Structure 1
C-alpha cells in the first residue's frame, strides 16, 4: 500500500513513537489524525504538520470516545487506511512486594485496560471503517500496526502488568490478521526495545544505563524515527502480515 494520499489514525500521536510516526506519514504524502489524551500537545503537533494533519482528544479505553474519533477522521479526511496504536503506559510493581504486600489489583487492571483493551478497542473500530474502503492492489483495504515491547518476551522484575499487556498484543496479532484477511486488512506488531521517548527519558540513569548496556549494537536508545521507518515499511510491504518484529538493537533484558 502506498502511503501517499492514505489516511492514518495514530494513538499516542502527540509524543514519542506516535509523533514520529505521524511526522513520517505526512512526509510521505499521507494524512494523519492524531488521537491523544493530551489535547494541548496534540494540537501543537497537528499544527506543526500543516493541513495534512488533524487531532482529536481521545480516551482509547472508551468505546464512545474512540467511535467519535473514528467518525471525526472520516469526516475530515474521508476514509481510514492505516491504524497505528502507540498509546500506552508503564508500571513497576512486583507480584508480591516488601512486607508481603501483593501487587495492587487496580494498577494491574489500569495497565491492562489502556495497553491491551485500549489497543483492541481502537483497532476493531478502525478495521470496521477500513472494511468500507474500495480495494486496492492485492485487494488491500487497510493496515493495522500495534506496539508491543521486548518486555513481552523478556519481562523484568516488576514488569508483570506491563509484560502481560504487551504479551497480549503479540498474542492477538495473528488471530486478528486471520480475522481480517477476507476484508483485505493486514495486522502487524512492532516490539520496540528501549527508545528515546518522554517515558524513557524521564527515568533516572540507574534505570536507563543498565538497559543501554544490555543492548548489543548500537549501544544507545532507539530513535523514534527508526520506529516510524518500520511502520512505513509495514504499510508499504503488502506481503508482511500477522507478524511481530523486534526493533531493539538485539537487547535481551536481564531480570533486573
Structure 2
C-alpha cells in the first residue's frame, strides 16, 4: 500500500509507539485519525501536524466509542484503510505475592484493554474496510496490532500482561485467513524494550542497564523504529498473518 493513500486509525496515538506511527504516516503523506484517552496530548499533536491528522477521545473497550470514531474518520477522510493498535496497559503482579493473591480484577482489566480492546477495534474496523474500493492487487486494508516479547518470554509478575499479548499473537493468523477473502492483511508487531512513557520515570542509569540487556543494538529501541516497521508492513503486500519481533535479539530472563 502506498503510504500517500493511507487513512490510518491509530489507537494509543498520542504518545509512545502510537505517536511515532502517527508522525511517520503524516510525514510520508498519509492521513491519520489519532485515538487516545489523553485529550491534551492528542490535541497538541494535531495542532502540530496540521490538517492531515485529527483527534478523537476513544475507549477501545467501548463498541460505541470505536464506532463513532470510525464514522468520524470516514466523514473527514473518506475511508479507513489502515488500523494500528497501540493502545494498552502494562501491569505487574505476582500470582501469589507478599500482599496476597493476584487480584482477579486486575487480571481481567489487563485482558479487557489489551486483548479484547484490540479485537474490538479490529472487528469494527474490518467491517468498515470490507466496503473499501480495492487498490492494486485487490488490497482493501491493513490491520496491525501490537503485542510484546512478553507474549513469548513473560517475566515473573507478568501473567496478565503476557496472557493479553499472547492472545494478540494467537488471533493474528486466524483473522488474517478470514480477512484474506476481502483483501485485508492482518499483522502483529512484538516490540522488545522501547523508549516509551512507561520508562520516563526511570533514572538514566536504570535505562542504560535495561538497554545493555539487548544483544544489538545495546540500547532501548526508539519509537521511530517501530513506526518504520509499520511503514514496511504497509508497503510490502506479502507480509500477512504473522508476528514480527522487533527486539534486538533480546530474550527476557525470568526476572
TM-score bucket (shorter structure): over 0.9
* 1:13-24 mapped onto 2 (5 Å cutoff): 13-24=13-24
Offset of residue 210 of structure 1: 4.6
Q: 1:240 matched to which residue of 2?
A: 239
Q: 1:63 matched to which residue of 2?
A: 63
Q: 2:136 matched to which residue of 1?
A: 137
Offset of residue 212 of structure 1: 2.1
Match of 1:89, SS? coil
- Cα distance in 1 for partners of 2:205, 2:95 equals 22
* 1:196-235 mapped onto 2 (5 Å cutoff): 196-203=195-202, 208-235=207-234
Match of 2:145, SS? strand
TM-score by length of 2: 0.97
Offset of residue 207 of structure 1: 6.0
* 1:177-196 mapped onto 2 (5 Å cutoff): 177-196=176-195
CA RMSD of aligned residues (A): 1.2
- Cα distance in 2 for partners of 1:241, 1:227 equals 17
- Cα distance in 2 for partners of 1:115, 1:131 equals 24
Q: 2:158 matched to which residue of 1?
A: 159
Q: 2:146 matched to which residue of 1?
A: 147
Q: 1:169 matched to which residue of 2?
A: 168
Q: 2:97 matched to which residue of 1?
A: 97
Q: 1:43 matched to which residue of 2?
A: 43
Q: Which whole-Å deviations, capped at 9, do the CAs of 1:171-223 have from their partners, x for residues lacking one?
A: 00000101101000000000000100111223456864553232101111100
TM-score by length of 1: 0.97
Match of 1:145, SS? strand
Range moving further from structure 2, 78-87 or 197-206: 197-206
Task: State whether structure 2 residue 81 is matched by structure 1 residue 85.
Answer: no
- Cα distance in 1 for partners of 2:39, 2:134 equals 34
Unaligned runs of 5+ in 1: none
- Cα distance in 2 for partners of 1:200, 1:148 equals 17
Q: How many residues align?
A: 255
- Cα distance in 1 for partners of 2:60, 2:36 equals 8
- Cα distance in 1 for partners of 2:107, 2:201 equals 22
Q: Is the 8 A contact 2:208 2:219 kept in 1?
A: no
Q: Is the 8 A contact 1:211 1:253 kept in 2?
A: no
Q: 1:74 matched to which residue of 2?
A: 74
Offset of residue 67 of structure 1: 0.6
Offset of residue 78 of structure 1: 0.7
- Cα distance in 1 for partners of 2:101, 2:206 equals 23
Q: 2:252 matched to which residue of 1?
A: 253
- Cα distance in 1 for partners of 2:20, 2:225 equals 9
Match of 1:172, SS? helix
- Cα distance in 2 for partners of 1:205, 1:24 equals 27
